[in-house]
Structure 1
């Protein structure tokens, strides 16, 4: 409850029935825009993977996956995915998807260690995508170009939605603004990372923060990143490190920065070695995924996740993610929100 934001005089623009229809509309439209812009084909994704393969996403390295034994596999342990960050890259190779093209999928995950906030639930749904690239494309300009393509997909979806629901007027700026986490720290040295994000995003409307995971000038990372998918140590053209980042939008309902996507160019062999060492996770080199990557058997790639419920929440001007997804909530939270006009699905 301490993390709950109740906007003053909040009233949903759409009722429950219209909300359900609009959710489908947004999801249908955005995946068409995204797949066309980035040249992605849809694939079917798993909800569970076997423990010990290295395919599950470790997020910040401390979150516990939902795990259980499988009777038909001699009680070997399976895990519900946190995300498909590494599975997607593996599938690029398995499906022999050529350079310049990629895949996307509907990812459904469980993250039981998430704290309940307006933006967080134990259930996570996102478009996970991955695209094969050339080794020489592993540079900042390529990352920035890909972010602009995703932002164009967001803008077009917002416009099309407004044509069908005129009360939902477009609010995204024409362009997305880029800044490195080091420059953001230098700009607001006395603020926390989240405070920096909100202050800068409020000014620009839509931003991409580059270089998340590596240690900054103050000795701390902007935010945590696992060592084995995004590349956050390779030097970029501006002298800083990091070929990854987050897309943030200004949310006028919650009056804060709103993360819609985490993405990046993926580690090559050298970056994986370096990042595993920095995180003290060199034992992962014995896992199936990591062995293949270090042996050069996986394609170079760029990829990320785009929150489905978060996108719907943002475009429909909702105050809580529970208004656009069906999940499990504390009774006190549900009751408090209902009294404030925040009606959960």
Structure 2
């Protein structure tokens, strides 16, 4: 594990230029590969619409009132549900999709080399047919996205041939969260992720959100957007940090049946009355697949940085600043 930002010779200015180059290339390749159109997205939503992402259910969204206190609004935590609604409202057709910049503030996030309170990612969503709601189609799209990552790696390494190294394997490895638990029964979920990703270098862990045979979950997932049997995370082995590194969470979205089942399992049936949930339950929204891809995570990985603060301007506590200084890391 490298412990300082000298893992690459990119200085501050070069890093800023490389971030722009990397982001521009990746998002265009992603759009071309998945047939996505760029759209504008909200920074805020009304809580009563049910459109905000509840994440694992314990995070508190930033909220405030506007119009002299008449309306309460929340900063989005992600656009998982908003995108599906937007595809209908904007008149997109089957196998067409959208992507957008998603900017969020998550004040409950613990500050560390991978997390800040500011979240920046590309959120994307694409209309599919009902018969596409299966594992084969999910894996097809994962492979398409992995090819975009590989193409991006080749491009940025060509731009900086004496600085960056090849990190990705030829293929991504698929494994379910239950298979992962069976493979490493004595490890914690995060330790399992590290073990399998160190071995395979690029992994898609499937079926996240439901209870495993052990009685535990691999990880928490909100019950109302991803189908827990048709979702997963894309992880790469990060040699700089010496650990698994999540780049994307994605999945085929809930049907009326899976939404009802998951709300019951999670004890969140009270959400059924919200407008978004009513649209799903009454099949007024298209069947979709979608996800989020971390922008700062992408830059960290391909530019071989050891702290998210090297690729994202943020707010840091004294201990984080001191630790970074001791390791020679310059936080933006």
| Residue of 77, 102, 110 corresponding to 2:97 | 102
The answer to whether the 8 Å contact 2:198/2:243 transfers is: yes
2:198 is aligned with 1:216: no
**Hey, what does 1:49 align to over in structure 2?**
45
The answer to whether the 8 Å contact 1:27/1:308 transfers is: yes
Aligned partner of residue 11 in structure 1, secondary structure: helix
The answer to whether the 8 Å contact 1:12/1:342 transfers is: no
Q: Quote how far apart the aligned CAs of 1:7 are.
A: 3.5
2:71 is aligned with 1:76: yes
**Hey, what does 1:308 align to over in structure 2?**
295
Question: TM-score, normalised to structure 1's length?
Answer: 0.94
The answer to whether the 8 Å contact 2:4/2:306 transfers is: no
**Hey, what does 1:317 align to over in structure 2?**
304
Aligned partner of residue 258 in structure 1, secondary structure: strand
> Structure 1: which 4+ aligned runs deviate by more than 6 Å?
none
The answer to whether the 8 Å contact 1:177/1:208 transfers is: yes
- In 2, Cα distance between the equivalents of 1:186 and 1:196? 10
Aligned partner of residue 257 in structure 2, secondary structure: helix
| Residue of 316, 323, 326 corresponding to 1:329 | 316
2:183 is aligned with 1:187: yes
Aligned partner of residue 278 in structure 2, secondary structure: helix
Aligned length: 330
Aligned partner of residue 260 in structure 1, secondary structure: strand
The answer to whether the 8 Å contact 2:300/2:306 transfers is: yes
Question: TM-score, normalised to structure 2's length?
Answer: 0.98
**Hey, what does 2:127 align to over in structure 1?**
132
Which sits farther off after the overlay, 194-203 or 286-295? 286-295
RMSD after superposition = 1.0
**Hey, what does 1:157 align to over in structure 2?**
152
List gaps (5 residues or longer) in structure 2. Answer: none
Cα displacement string for residues 179-224 of structure 1 (whole angstroms, at most 9, x for unaligned residues): 0111110000000000000000000000000000011110111100
2:138 is aligned with 1:143: yes
**Hey, what does 1:120 align to over in structure 2?**
115
The answer to whether the 8 Å contact 1:248/1:258 transfers is: yes
